[in-house]
Amino acid sequence: MSLLPTLSIVCRLMLCVWCGALHNHYGVPRNTILHPNDLKVFREDNIFNYTTMQLRDDLGVVLIGAREAIFALDINNISTKKSWVYWPVTEVKQTDCTYKGKQAEVECRNYIRTLHTINDTTIYVCGTYAFSPVCDYLTFANGQLLLKGKPEEGKGKCPFDPFQRYSSLMVGSDLYSATSINFLGSEPVILRSSSSAALRSDFKYFWLNEPNFVFMDIVGESLDSPDGDDDKVYFIFSENAVEYDFYTKVKVSRVARVCKGDMGGQRTLQRKWTSFLKARLDCSLPEPSLPLIVQDVFLMKHNDWRKSVFYGIFTPQSGLSQVSAVCAYSISDIRNIFNEGKFKTRAAVESSQDKWVMYTGEVPVPRPGACINNVARKMGVNESRQLPDKTLQFVRDRPLMDDAVSPVTGRPLLLKKGPLLTRIVVDSVTALNQQTYHVMFIGTENGFIQKAVNYAGEMLIIEEIQVLESPEPVGILRLSSSKGQLYAGSDSSVIQMPVSNCGRYESCVDCVLSRDPYCAWDTSSEQCSRVHSLSSSSKNMVQSLEEGDVSECPAPDPVEAVDFHLVPGNNIQLPCRLHSNLAQAHWQFSDQTLEANNKYYIYSGGLLILNASESDAGLYTCDSVEQIGSRTFSRTIALYSVKTPPAPPVVAVSTPGTTMIKYSDYTHTNTLTTKTEEVMPSPLLPENRKDNGRVSHLEVAVGLLSLLCLCLFGAIFWFWGRKHLRCLRIVQTLGGGEGRRPSGEYIHSQNKTSETKLLEPKAGAVIANNNHSCVDFKVNGDNHLANISGLDGLGYICDESEI
Ligand SMILES: *[C@@H]1O[C@H](CO)[C@@H](O)[C@H](O)[C@H]1NC(C)=O
Ligand SMILES: *[C@@H]1O[C@H](CO)[C@@H](O)[C@H](O)[C@H]1NC(C)=O
Ligand SMILES: *[C@@H]1O[C@H](CO)[C@@H](O)[C@H](O)[C@H]1NC(C)=O
Ligand SMILES: *[C@@H]1O[C@H](CO)[C@@H](O)[C@H](O)[C@H]1NC(C)=O
Ligand SMILES: *[C@@H]1O[C@H](CO)[C@@H](O)[C@H](O)[C@H]1NC(C)=O
């Protein structure tokens, strides 16, 4: 029996590698910019953790909360510090904190986590204060920051633990906060601190189950509401799922909301939310995997709140996968689920395990969790304390909706392999064609900002910019759309950068092909410049975002051939620098396409001809070939006329192991320079060749092997399965994007030993349709180690009777 699980693991690993290889093309940024010179940086000696930020256009400052310090920086130039206050913990507090087992220099300090506007001059500020959160008032007047020094209890408003994610929001004079209310961090709450009606969430595990809060914001839904609805505060977090009856803890992403006018219940849910409802947020990769986990959210507000959109970034819940995704959700879809969707309820099952299924019984009126609206008012219910017990008991016991929220486009807007995404902001940009595009700025865990758009389903990362000096996570990201500036904070510094730097593109073709909605080529000034949507000079501007059409650009100067003299027996290096990471070099020699082989080595910087002979003389052309939208764009970057014999001998030294060659470096600025460079003798490394997502022989081999594995496995399973398994039916709901139940759902049998997972059928699923068994192989490598324990982790679905 032990053979089976082992085989399962091996095969799964192989499939994992194979799938990974197929998705190498995920999110390659078109341009990479390292440490641009238009960055402004702020850091202060011995101050760290610049991860709380508030933009105050009205005061002309950016407020930064760091460890034991708050700064007011000039919003136009954050390198200019206007004022700051130091807010350390007292020695007594720090000692207290260390007695409780926390580290003095790490946890027992005061990390500023909250900055909220109270009025024009007053700011509410909270810090972790040595695991004993405290809040206070801060004023900014006459260019000076001043701490009032009237500390208030911060429990529930600010986390104890500086490493814990949390979220808060000031609405009028009410502070909404989502954090843990105790020292151990084991009692999560969503709290409203208010002088009139303070409310909190219930401590039941199915309200909040080890949550990680990432975001909250208010949506003014009472505006023009035909049914007399209320404004709502939305929360986004991840937590342990109750709806999956699974062998390990599965985390899911959630959206929850409460009504602004909620006053709590009278007997049931006294001083607790009567309007707390939550639903799962789905964001699935094309390949099967455990649910992705939300890391950050940006609410793109629209004047008509019904058109507001939540943009979320999601990362895998285990370290084995490295694909992050961006999904967008419309407020209307979320509302529909809360307002009309079915509820989940706890099923009565024999096993001690909790099981949640769709509730099919009668739902009381007024609808549980609904805000006080016209329906309620008609029934004489003017506020939540007048709600009937039936409604309140229902929502207390069933806050989870049955339906999950699917992304607007049915799938992620962006997929990105490599360093995980950490923070997101989105700008709304009006392009030359008067269309509005949403440009995403996404921070990564290694200090980059990715600037991305989605043009009608096509994912494009316009550029990635290295903004932080060291490869540390972007811990906070803020956008000032009016100033066109981005602000990012990390543990070691704060940076400011413009949303675009069109001047980086020097030619019309480069400018147009960048497909950056902020930029267009100005034919009169011959510069790539910012688009000002309302300016009248737009007739001289060239921009083509979805097509990348350069036909309106003036014809570029023809590329001149550069002479090159070869020396038989030596290597020749012909440089050709492409203008895009997405382009491929296409080399021609006397009208004949060159393929990489043991003579020609094509690498990102050019062509290497090994052991040149006289027959290599002739004309070499390097074209840059790039897929732009639906078409292929090609342009000549360099031309070389390679000649024999050498007039003056150009080459020379050969030392064992290294060949010194001399070559002409022809760059696109038409300057001819001569350099000497070291070239390793055997650069034909296979891994260098597949940078653009081509699947190597190795990977194909692994893929075939895994298929073989599957077949073998299928056969074994067939024999085994005939005897032992109670089989299951695979319910495949292929929504095609519109389906109510997205793929990647888990199903389970009554019988714990044949617990399974339903996967998206296209990737890696092999259905052996032999009338007896079908195998749905769990390709996702996410938890193959977690379930070695028994056969229940094998990931089969088998059906004897149905197929
Ligand atoms: C604060 O920054 C320091 C230095 O980079 C880092 O080691 C520490 O983990 C950070 N603390 C928190 C709570 O993020
Ligand atoms: C920003 O402020 C710093 C420090 O005050 C100054 O050195 C720098 O020149 C300023 N940069 C700009 C563009 O004004
Ligand atoms: C701002 O709020 C603070 C604290 O509530 C109060 O003391 C102060 O008078 C207010 N200032 C103004 C200008 O309203
Ligand atoms: C609700 O408000 C309406 C009008 O404001 C009033 O007539 C009615 O008596 C109120 N009902 C209750 C139960 O307070
Ligand atoms: C270089 O090419 C010549 C013939 O063109 C051949 O005789 C020689 O062995 C080659 N040298 C190497 C190192 O491959």
Q: Provide mean pLDDT across the span 356-375.
A: 95
- In this structure, what are the phi and psi dihedrals at residue 132, rounded to the nearest 5 degrees? -155, 75
- Proportion of the chain above pLDDT 90, given as a percent: 65
Rounded Cα gap, residues 440 and 453, in angstroms: 6
The ligand placed nearest to the CA atom of residue 490 is 1
Q: Is residue 492 in contact with ligand 1, taking CB distance under 6 Å?
A: yes
Give the helix/strand (H/E) hosting 756. Answer: none
Q: Residue 432 above 70 pLDDT?
A: yes
Question: DSSP string covering 370-413, please?
Answer: --S-HHHHHTT--SGGGS-HHHHHHHHH--BBSSPBPPTTSS-S
Nearest CA to ligand 4 atom 6: 380
Distance 491 CA to ligand 1 centre (A): 6
Which range has highest mean pLDDT (243-257, 311-325, 486-500)?
A: 486-500
- Stated length of the chain: 803
Ligand 4 atom closest to 386 (CA):
13
Q: Is 382 in the pocket of ligand 4 (CB under 6 A)?
A: yes
Per-residue confidence (pLDDT) for residue 647, from 0 to 100:
54
The candidate with the shortest Cα–Cα distance to 214, out of 294, 310, 290, is 294
Taking only the tens place, the pLDDT of each residue in 480-490 is 999 999 999 99
Find out whether the beta carbon of 473 lies less than 6 Å from any atom of ligand 1: no
For residue 356, the tally of other CB atoms under 10 A from its CB is 19
Looking at the DSSP bridge assignments, the partners of residue 122 are: 139
- Around Cβ 292, how many Cβ atoms within 10 Å? 28
Q: CA-to-CA distance for 657 and 661, rounded, in angstroms?
A: 13
Helix (H) or strand (E) holding 701: helix 697-724
Structure tokens at 542: 């060239």
Confidence of residue 732 (pLDDT cuts 50, 70, 90): very low
Question: Which runs of consecutive H residues, i.e. helices, occur in 668-696?
Answer: none
Mean pLDDT for the stretch of residues 12-41: 69
Q: How confident is the model at residue 476 (pLDDT cuts 50, 70, 90)?
A: very high
Q: Higher model confidence: residue 688 or residue 494?
A: 494
Which residue in 746, 789, 749, 795 sits closest to 775, CA to CA? 795
- Per the model's pLDDT, the better-predicted residue between 605 and 205 turns out to be 205
What ligand is nearest to the CA atom of residue 141?
Answer: 3
Where is pLDDT greater, at 10 or 169?
169
Above 90 in pLDDT, residue 799?
no
CA of 628 to the centre of ligand 1 (A): 42
611 lines ligand 5 (CB under 6 A): yes
Regarding predicted confidence, which is higher, 146 or 555? Answer: 146
Q: 613: Cβ below 6 Å to ligand 5?
A: yes
Q: Is the dihedral of CA 697, 701, 702, 703 positive or negative?
A: positive
Question: What is the Å distance from ligand 3's center to 119 Cα?
Answer: 6
* Model pLDDT, residue 692: 35
Q: Which atom of ligand 3 is nearest to the CA of 120?
A: 13
Strand order from edge to edge, sheet including 448-455:
32-34, 458-466, 448-455, 436-444, 421-430
Is it the case that residue 230 has pLDDT exceeding 60? Answer: yes
The confidence score (pLDDT) of residue 597 equals: 87
Question: 749 CB under 6 A from ligand 1?
Answer: no
Mean pLDDT in residue range 82-102:
95
Ligand found nearest the CA of 568: 5
Our mutation pick for probing the ligand 2 site, out of 78, 79, 83, 494, counting the most ligand atoms within 8 A of Cβ, is 79
Would you state the pLDDT for residue 719?
Answer: 42
Q: 312 with 236: CB under 8 angstroms?
A: yes
Tokens of 11: 């095969």
Q: Which element (helix H / strand E) includes 15? A: helix 3-22
pLDDT, one tens digit per residue, over 127-153 is 999 999 999 999 999 999 999 999 999
Residue 283 has pLDDT above 90, yes or no: yes
Contact (Cβ atoms closer than 8 angstroms) between residue 531 and residue 545: no
pLDDT of residue 289: 87
pLDDT at 660: 34
Would the CB of 654 count as within 6 Å of ligand 5?
no
What's the pLDDT tens digit per position in 154-193? 999 999 999 999 999 999 999 999 999 999 999 999 999 9
Pocket test for ligand 4, best of 382, 385, 387 (most atoms within 8 A of CB): 382
C-alpha 1 – ligand 1 centre gap (Å): 48
Does 689 have pLDDT greater than 80?
no
pLDDT over 70 at 698, yes or no: no
Q: What is d(CA 510, CA 502) in angstroms, rounded to the nearest whole number?
A: 10
pLDDT band of 739, cuts 50, 70, 90: very low
* Residue 350 banded pLDDT, cuts 50, 70, 90: low
Q: Provide mean pLDDT across the span 284-312.
A: 95
Q: Does 420 have pLDDT greater than 50?
A: yes
Between 122-131, 692-701, 722-731, the lowest mean confidence (pLDDT) is in: 722-731
pLDDT (mean) for 365-375: 95
Three-state secondary structure call for residue 638: strand
Cα 385 to averaged position of ligand 4 atoms, centre (Å): 13
Which pLDDT value is given to residue 540?
86
Strand duo 672-679 + 561-565: pairing: unpaired
Q: Whose CA is nearest to atom 2 of ligand 4?
A: 382
pLDDT of 17 above 70: no
Q: List, as one string, the DSSP characters of 559-618.
A: PPEEEEE--TTS-EEEE---S-TT-EEEEEETTEE---SSSEEEETTEEEE-S--GGG-E
Greatest mean pLDDT among 10-19, 54-63, 454-463, 765-774: 54-63
Q: Could you tell me the CA-to-CA distances from 343 to 211, 357, 401 in Å, in that order?
A: 20, 9, 4
Q: How many Å apart are CA 583 and CA 579, to the nearest integer?
A: 7
Q: Would you say the CB of residue 163 lies under 6 angstroms from ligand 1?
A: yes
6 lines ligand 4 (CB under 6 A): no
The amino acid sitting at 378 is K
Does residue 713 surpass a pLDDT of 90?
no
Mean pLDDT of the chain: 80
25: which residues sit within 8 A by CB, 6+ positions away? Answer: 692, 693
CA–CA separation, 660 and 209 (whole Å): 64
Handedness of CA 610, 612, 613, 614 (dihedral sign): positive
Closest ligand (CA of 468) = 1
407-416: pLDDT as tens digits: 999 999 999 9
Of all ligands present, the nearest one to the C-alpha of 121 is 3
The pLDDT value given to residue 248: 76
| Mean pLDDT score, 728-741 | 30
Poorest-confidence range of 36-40, 210-214, 317-321, 734-738?
A: 734-738
Residues 6+ apart with CB under 8 A from 205: 242
Q: How far apart are CA 679 and CA 493, in angstroms?
A: 39
Q: What are 25-35's pLDDT values in tens digits?
A: 578 999 999 99
CA distance 273 to 188: 14
On the question of pLDDT at 357 being above 70, the answer is yes
Q: Which of 84-98, 495-509, 781-795 has the lowest mean pLDDT?
A: 781-795
Output the CA 118–ligand 1 centroid distance in Å: 29
Nearest CA to ligand 5 atom 12: 611
CB 190 within 8 A of CB 273: yes
Q: Using an 8 Å Cβ cutoff, are 73 and 62 in contact?
A: yes
- CA 639/CA 637 separation, integer angstroms: 7
Q: pLDDT class for 536, splitting at 50, 70, 90? A: low
Burial of residue 751 (CB within 10 Å: 0-12, 13-18, 19+) is exposed
